[in-house]
């Protein structure tokens, strides 16, 4: 029978104290172990697999050919053919790097990293347009970001689900409550400025009020997104990722090499963005769906949309605030309604890829008419 506790009795036994301290530093320990590549393939083997792992990589020669064809303004059919062929290896390499990262990090976190690298281009382009300061450029920034969100959660996600539906009778996946809630929150924060604009008379105080609402909301959204990232990283640190429930797969690349490879291919894709757009990332999502990795597909599509809505747009608003450029969260009523309808459909009918594609086409037709 153990003695009764006294004021000198430790709250945690020695063993528990040791485990507590280890868990407190587990994230740094696991991160350093990943980048040291301990127990993982060497950097040489990783890069060799990445470059020589598929015959499709032979088509990388079409990337410089595509750039040359556009710079020389060659025949449109030739430029399109070169660009189309260049998309194939880029999508393959993006998928390979993301797939290898998902083995260790889990599909959700790997998809988030893929989206983060891809959206770095959106941030750079957005800041460049914002610094020009004209009202026309500000509208372009807003509409381009909204277009990226809609294409990701409707067209790309819909195509991915439809492709997976043809290959697999049933697909097991889940959209976490955090993802759905954050997407809904970002949608609501865009509705509030539009509602404020509709009830106020057009005078000087309207712009001032919109700026105040937008800047305050942007700061709050950035805080919420940081908390969302913390939740994702903590889930990985605590070992609650979905990889525990899957069969063990042997990685062909270490995490550091896969991360560097993903970043390198993303930079190349961004450099060719004028010719290839974001098609490589979109094809990657469909390719992951065809492989049955639906969590990874959702991580890329929904994760990218969440990042644009809850991080990129608020970040640009804050940067505009600091640089004295009046960028707000106000979108026209038509854009706001289409965004709300898209988020609502994704949250309620995400299993039906064809419906997502249909809504995207209807919205595209409506924008074309207007």
Rg (CA), the chain: 23
**15 in a structural domain:** no
CATH number of 279's domain = 1.20.1420.30
Higher pLDDT, 233 or 340: 340
Let me know if residue 5 belongs to a domain. no
Task: Please compute the mean of the pLDDT values over residues 99-109 and round it to a whole number.
Answer: 76
Condensed to tens digits (0 to 9), the pLDDT of residues 7-52 reads: 444 444 444 444 434 444 555 666 566 556 566 778 888 888 888 8
Please tell me the total count of domains within the chain: 1
**Measured on CA atoms in the order 204, 205, 208, 214, is the torsion positive or negative?**
negative
pLDDT band at 63 (very low <50, low <70, confident <90, very high): confident
User: Whole-model pTM?
Assistant: 0.70
Provide the percentage of residues in the chain whose pLDDT is more than 90: 1
Per-residue pLDDT at 204 exceeds 60: no
**Buried residues in 201-221 as b, exposed as e (16+ CB within 10 A):** eeeeeeeeebbebbbebbeeb
How far is 151 from 161, CA to CA, in rounded Å?
A: 14
Residue 104 counted as domain residue: yes
How confident is the model at residue 226, as a pLDDT?
86
* Residue pointed to by tokens 């003695």: 3
Evaluate whether residue 2 is within a structural domain. no
- What does 236-294 look like in DSSP terms, one character per residue? HHTT-SGGGGS-----SS-HHHHHHHHHHHHHHHHHTHHHHTTHHHHHHHHHHHHTT-H
Tokens for 9, please give them.
Answer: 């009795």
| In-domain check, residue 19 | no
Whether residue 139 is predicted with pLDDT greater than 70 in this model: the reply is yes
Q: For residue range 73-82, list pLDDT tens digits in order.
A: 888 888 888 8
3 DSSP 8-state letter: P
- Across 117-126, 180-189, 199-208, the highest mean pLDDT is recorded for 180-189
Residue 20 lies in a domain: no
- The tokens for 138 are 């500000």
How confident is the prediction for the chain on average, in pLDDT?
75
Residue with tokens 């854009």: 335
Contacts of 296 (CB under 8 A, 6+ apart): 98, 99, 102, 107, 108, 110, 111, 288
Backbone angles phi, psi at 54, to 5 degrees: -145, 145
pLDDT of residue 318: 92
- Is residue 294 a contact partner of residue 122, using CB atoms and an 8 Å limit? no
Count of CA atoms in the C-beta half-sphere (13 A) of 337: 7
Q: Which of 18-27, 138-147, 334-343 has the lowest mean pLDDT?
A: 18-27
In a domain, 24, yes or no: no
State mean pLDDT over 155-179: 71
H helix intervals, 133-242 = 135-150, 157-167, 177-199, 204-237
Task: Tell me what pLDDT residue 201 has.
Answer: 58
Domain span at residue 203 reads: 42-242+250-369
Per-residue confidence (pLDDT) for residue 28, from 0 to 100: 61
Q: Is residue 9 part of a domain?
A: no
Q: How confident is the model at residue 55 (pLDDT cuts 50, 70, 90)?
A: confident
Cβ 223 vs Cβ 186: under 8 Å? no
The CA distances from residue 239 to 106, 235, 242, in Å, are 10, 6, 9
């Amino acid at each position: 029978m153990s003695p009764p506790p006294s004021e000198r009795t430790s709250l945690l036994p020695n063993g528990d104290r040791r485990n507590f301290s280890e868990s407190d530093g587990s994230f740094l320990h696991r991160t350093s172990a990943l980048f040291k590549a301990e127990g993982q393939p060497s950097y040489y083997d990783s890069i060799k697999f990445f470059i020589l792992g598929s015959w499709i990589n032979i088509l990388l020669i079409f990337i410089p050919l595509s750039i040359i064809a556009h710079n020389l303004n060659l025949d449109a059919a030739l430029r399109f053919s070169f660009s189309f062929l260049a998309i194939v290896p880029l999508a393959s390499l993006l998928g390979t790097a993301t797939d290898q990262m998902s083995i260790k990090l889990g599909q959700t976190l790997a998809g988030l990293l893929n989206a983060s690298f891809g959206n770095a281009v959106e941030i750079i382009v957005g800041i460049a347009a914002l610094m020009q300061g004209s009202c026309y450029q500000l509208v372009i920034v807003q509409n381009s970001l909204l277009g990226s969100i809609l294409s990701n959660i409707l067209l790309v996600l819909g195509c991915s689900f439809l492709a997976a539906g043809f290959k697999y009778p049933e697909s097991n996946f889940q959209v976490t409550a955090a993802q759905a809630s954050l997407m809904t929150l970002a949608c609501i924060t865009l509705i509030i400025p539009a509602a404020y604009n509709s009830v106020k008379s057009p005078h000087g105080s309207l712009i001032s009020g919109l700026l105040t609402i937008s800047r305050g909301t942007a700061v709050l959204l950035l805080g919420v997104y940081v908390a969302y990232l913390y939740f994702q990283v903590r889930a990985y640190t605590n070992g609650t990722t979905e990889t525990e429930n899957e069969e063990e797969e042997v990685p062909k690349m270490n995490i550091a090499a896969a991360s560097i490879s993903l970043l390198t291919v993303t930079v190349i894709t961004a450099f060719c963005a004028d010719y290839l757009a974001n098609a490589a990332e979109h094809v990657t999502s469909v390719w992951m769906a065809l492989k049955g990795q639906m969590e990874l597909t959702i991580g890329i599509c929904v994760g990218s949309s969440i990042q644009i809505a809850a991080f990129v747009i608020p970040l640009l608003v804050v940067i505009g605030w600091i640089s004295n450029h009046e960028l707000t969260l106000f979108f026209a009523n038509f854009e706001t309604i289409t965004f709300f309808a898209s988020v609502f459909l994704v949250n309620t009918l995400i299993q039906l890829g064809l419906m997502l594609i249909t809504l995207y086409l209807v919205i595209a037709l409506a924008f074309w008419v207007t």
